Amino acid sequence: GMVGRLGERKVLALSVLCLPLAVALIPLAASVSQAAVFLIITSSVLYNALMVSYNATVYGLLARFTPEELMGRQQGFRLVFTMGPVPVLGIVGGFLGDRLGLQAAMWIWVGITACAALPLVAVLNKSSRESEPAND
């Protein structure tokens, strides 16, 4: 699979870094009416593929490093942390769409998605520097 060819770090990084591009296709579709359906379908397929590759890689890492007796707690925390804000943010997104317009609210989603990648990029950079041989 992809993890075998690229490694876990690269799959995680590609998944997270490409996600804002997948999201950006939706507000971009409003500007390109001839290709709007194509852009929205492409966004949906790409977004879902990236989420599957990210989640499969993360679940593998978590299973490897989490003691078996803590897996239930770890999964419960992860689901609350990742899915808990969804209803509240859905309401906020609806409010922003009503106040600023749908396209502006969608571009804000793109920005939030890009910002969400920053912690993972920082962790990946730190761990790759730690694994480099020292230049003495």
d(CA 117, CA 22): 13
What is the chain's alpha carbon radius of gyration, rounded to the nearest angstrom? 18
| Percent above pLDDT 70 for the chain | 92
Contact 12, 116 (CB under 8 A): no
pLDDT at res. 128: 66
pLDDT at res. 67: 93
Model-level pTM greater than 0.85? Answer: no
Categorize the per-residue pLDDT at 19 as very low, low, confident or very high, splitting at 50, 70 and 90.
very high
Q: Answer yes or no: is pLDDT of 100 > 50.
A: yes
CA proximity to 56, closest of 100, 1, 104: 1
pLDDT per residue over 69-91, tens digit each?
A: 999 999 899 889 888 999 999 99
d(CA 74, CA 62): 8
